[in-house]
Protein backbone atom coordinates (compact mmCIF):
# COMPACT_ATOMS: atom_id res chain seq x y z
CA UNK A 1 0.00 0.00 0.00
CA UNK A 2 1.13 3.50 -0.81
CA UNK A 3 0.19 6.25 1.64
CA UNK A 4 0.12 10.01 1.32
CA UNK A 5 1.94 11.55 4.24
CA UNK A 6 2.80 15.13 5.21
CA UNK A 7 6.02 16.15 6.97
CA UNK A 8 6.53 19.46 8.80
CA UNK A 9 10.03 20.94 8.50
CA UNK A 10 11.42 23.57 10.86
CA UNK A 11 14.80 25.14 11.64
CA UNK A 12 16.12 28.21 13.44
CA UNK A 13 19.86 27.46 13.72
CA UNK A 14 22.88 27.07 11.39
CA UNK A 15 21.45 28.64 8.20
CA UNK A 16 17.80 27.58 8.52
CA UNK A 17 16.94 28.06 4.83
CA UNK A 18 19.74 25.70 3.85
CA UNK A 19 18.72 23.24 6.57
CA UNK A 20 15.17 23.08 5.23
CA UNK A 21 16.28 22.82 1.58
CA UNK A 22 18.80 20.07 2.45
CA UNK A 23 16.09 18.22 4.35
CA UNK A 24 13.78 18.39 1.30
CA UNK A 25 16.58 16.82 -0.77
CA UNK A 26 17.01 14.11 1.87
CA UNK A 27 13.25 13.40 1.88
CA UNK A 28 13.39 12.99 -1.91
CA UNK A 29 16.09 10.32 -1.41
CA UNK A 30 14.19 8.18 1.14
CA UNK A 31 13.69 4.53 0.19
CA UNK A 32 10.28 3.39 -1.14
CA UNK A 33 9.16 7.01 -1.05
CA UNK A 34 8.48 9.82 -3.53
CA UNK A 35 8.59 13.53 -2.72
CA UNK A 36 5.35 14.60 -4.40
CA UNK A 37 5.29 18.29 -3.54
CA UNK A 38 6.42 20.84 -0.99
CA UNK A 39 5.19 24.22 0.17
CA UNK A 40 7.06 27.52 0.01
CA UNK A 41 9.40 28.39 2.85
CA UNK A 42 7.84 30.56 5.57
CA UNK A 43 9.43 32.64 8.33
CA UNK A 44 7.79 33.09 11.73
CA UNK A 45 8.55 34.11 15.28
CA UNK A 46 9.27 31.20 17.59
CA UNK A 47 6.19 29.76 19.20
CA UNK A 48 6.66 28.82 22.85
CA UNK A 49 9.92 30.17 24.19
CA UNK A 50 10.20 33.48 22.26
CA UNK A 51 13.81 34.11 23.29
CA UNK A 52 15.33 32.45 20.21
CA UNK A 53 15.78 33.21 16.49
CA UNK A 54 12.91 33.19 13.99
CA UNK A 55 12.09 29.88 12.34
CA UNK A 56 11.96 28.77 8.74
CA UNK A 57 9.18 26.23 8.16
CA UNK A 58 7.73 24.26 5.28
CA UNK A 59 5.65 21.15 4.68
CA UNK A 60 6.39 18.27 2.28
CA UNK A 61 3.99 15.76 0.78
CA UNK A 62 5.36 12.25 0.35
CA UNK A 63 3.92 9.09 -1.15
CA UNK A 64 5.45 6.19 0.75
CA UNK A 65 5.37 2.44 1.22
CA UNK A 66 7.14 2.79 4.59
CA UNK A 67 5.13 2.10 7.73
CA UNK A 68 4.70 5.11 10.06
CA UNK A 69 7.27 3.91 12.62
CA UNK A 70 9.83 3.20 9.87
CA UNK A 71 9.21 6.59 8.32
CA UNK A 72 9.69 8.19 11.76
CA UNK A 73 13.03 6.39 12.10
CA UNK A 74 14.08 7.70 8.68
CA UNK A 75 13.08 11.26 9.69
CA UNK A 76 15.14 11.00 12.88
CA UNK A 77 18.05 9.78 10.74
CA UNK A 78 17.84 12.93 8.60
CA UNK A 79 17.64 15.13 11.73
CA UNK A 80 20.74 13.45 13.12
CA UNK A 81 22.55 13.68 9.78
CA UNK A 82 22.00 17.44 9.81
CA UNK A 83 23.60 17.82 13.20
CA UNK A 84 20.61 17.78 15.47
CA UNK A 85 21.35 17.06 19.07
CA UNK A 86 18.41 16.30 21.34
CA UNK A 87 17.91 19.75 22.70
CA UNK A 88 15.66 21.32 25.32
CA UNK A 89 11.89 21.22 24.82
CA UNK A 90 10.70 24.44 23.12
CA UNK A 91 14.34 25.45 22.53
CA UNK A 92 16.09 26.36 19.25
CA UNK A 93 16.85 23.55 16.79
CA UNK A 94 18.93 22.84 13.70
CA UNK A 95 16.23 20.69 12.13
CA UNK A 96 12.89 19.37 13.23
CA UNK A 97 10.97 16.91 11.05
CA UNK A 98 7.46 16.16 12.29
CA UNK A 99 5.28 13.40 10.91
CA UNK A 100 2.04 15.42 10.64
CA UNK A 101 -0.35 13.06 8.88
CA UNK A 102 -0.13 9.56 7.48
CA UNK A 103 -3.19 8.85 5.32
CA UNK A 104 -6.19 8.86 7.62
CA UNK A 105 -4.36 6.95 10.33
CA UNK A 106 -5.17 7.87 13.92
CA UNK A 107 -2.62 6.39 16.30
CA UNK A 108 -1.21 7.00 19.73
CA UNK A 109 1.82 4.95 20.69
CA UNK A 110 4.82 5.62 22.87
CA UNK A 111 6.79 6.69 19.80
CA UNK A 112 4.24 8.43 17.70
CA UNK A 113 0.95 10.37 17.76
CA UNK A 114 -1.01 10.73 14.51
CA UNK A 115 -2.17 13.26 13.47
CA UNK A 116 0.66 15.28 15.08
CA UNK A 117 -0.63 16.68 18.37
CA UNK A 118 0.05 20.36 17.59
CA UNK A 119 -1.10 20.40 14.00
CA UNK A 120 -4.32 22.44 14.30
CA UNK A 121 -2.89 25.11 16.61
CA UNK A 122 0.23 25.99 14.63
CA UNK A 123 0.11 28.59 11.86
CA UNK A 124 3.56 27.41 10.71
CA UNK A 125 2.05 23.97 10.01
CA UNK A 126 -1.50 24.77 8.86
CA UNK A 127 -0.61 27.56 6.39
CA UNK A 128 2.11 25.67 4.42
CA UNK A 129 -0.01 22.51 4.49
CA UNK A 130 -2.99 24.41 3.07
CA UNK A 131 -0.78 25.79 0.30
CA UNK A 132 -0.17 22.27 -1.09
CA UNK A 133 -3.37 20.53 0.11
CA UNK A 134 -6.11 23.19 0.19
CA UNK A 135 -8.96 20.65 0.14
CA UNK A 136 -7.53 18.34 2.78
CA UNK A 137 -9.83 16.89 5.40
CA UNK A 138 -8.21 15.82 8.67
CA UNK A 139 -9.07 12.33 9.98
CA UNK A 140 -11.58 13.91 12.42
CA UNK A 141 -13.42 15.55 9.52
CA UNK A 142 -12.06 19.09 10.07
CA UNK A 143 -11.48 20.91 6.78
CA UNK A 144 -8.00 22.41 6.74
CA UNK A 145 -9.45 25.48 4.99
CA UNK A 146 -11.49 26.19 8.14
CA UNK A 147 -8.31 26.47 10.20
CA UNK A 148 -6.32 28.84 7.99
CA UNK A 149 -8.72 31.71 8.76
CA UNK A 150 -7.89 31.43 12.46
CA UNK A 151 -4.38 32.83 12.08
CA UNK A 152 -3.40 36.49 11.69
CA UNK A 153 -1.79 37.45 8.39
CA UNK A 154 1.38 38.61 10.17
CA UNK A 155 1.93 35.27 11.94
CA UNK A 156 3.91 34.00 8.96
CA UNK A 157 5.92 35.54 6.14
CA UNK A 158 6.09 33.56 2.90
CA UNK A 159 9.63 33.64 1.49
CA UNK A 160 9.77 31.59 -1.71
N1 LIG B 1 8.05 27.99 16.38
C2 LIG B 1 7.99 28.18 15.04
N3 LIG B 1 7.58 29.37 14.56
N4 LIG B 1 8.34 27.18 14.17
C5 LIG B 1 8.75 25.96 14.61
O6 LIG B 1 9.06 25.06 13.80
C7 LIG B 1 8.81 25.74 16.01
N8 LIG B 1 9.22 24.54 16.53
C9 LIG B 1 9.27 24.31 17.82
C10 LIG B 1 8.84 25.34 18.85
C11 LIG B 1 9.98 25.57 19.82
C12 LIG B 1 7.61 24.83 19.53
N13 LIG B 1 8.50 26.61 18.22
C14 LIG B 1 8.44 26.79 16.88
O15 LIG B 1 9.65 23.14 18.26
Q: Looking at 96, 135, 140, 154, which residue is catalytic?
A: 96
Query: Do residues 72 and 111 lie in contact, with contact meaning Cβ atoms separated by under 8 Å?
Result: yes
Query: Cis peptide before 22, with omega less than 30 degrees from 0?
Result: no
In 18-145, DSSP assigns E strands to 33-38, 42-44, 55-64, 96-102, 107-108, 113-114
Cα-to-centroid distance, 47 and ligand 1 (Å): 5
In this prediction, residue 86 carries a pLDDT of: 63
In this prediction, residue 12 carries a pLDDT of: 94
Digits of tens for pLDDT over the chain (160 positions)?
Answer: 899 999 999 999 989 999 999 999 999 999 999 999 999 999 999 998 788 999 999 999 999 999 999 999 999 999 999 877 766 777 888 999 999 999 999 999 999 999 999 999 999 999 999 999 999 999 999 999 999 988 877 789 999 7
Task: Report the alpha-carbon distance of residue 33 to residue 84 in Å, rounded.
Answer: 23
Ligand 1 in reach of 13 Cβ (< 6 A) = no
**Domain spans of the chain, in order of start:** 3-158
Name the pTM for this structure. Answer: 0.95
Cα-to-centroid distance, 1 and ligand 1 (Å): 32
Residues 96-119 pLDDT 10s: 999 999 999 999 999 999 999 999
In this prediction, residue 153 carries a pLDDT of: 76
Mutation probe of ligand 1 site: the residue of 8, 9, 41, 48 with most atoms within 8 A of C-beta: 48
Ligand 1 in reach of 124 Cβ (< 6 A) = yes
Active site residue 96: yes
Exposed, middle or buried: residue 154 (CB in 10 Å: 0-12, 13-18, 19+)? Answer: exposed
Cα-to-centroid distance, 54 and ligand 1 (Å): 9
What is the dotted CATH code of the domain comprising 3-158? 3.30.70.560
Amino acid sequence: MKYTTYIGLGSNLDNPIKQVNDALDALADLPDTTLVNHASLYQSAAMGNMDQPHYINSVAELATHLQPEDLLTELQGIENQQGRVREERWGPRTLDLDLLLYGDVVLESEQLTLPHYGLKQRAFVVVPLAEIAPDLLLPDGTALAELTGLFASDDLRRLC
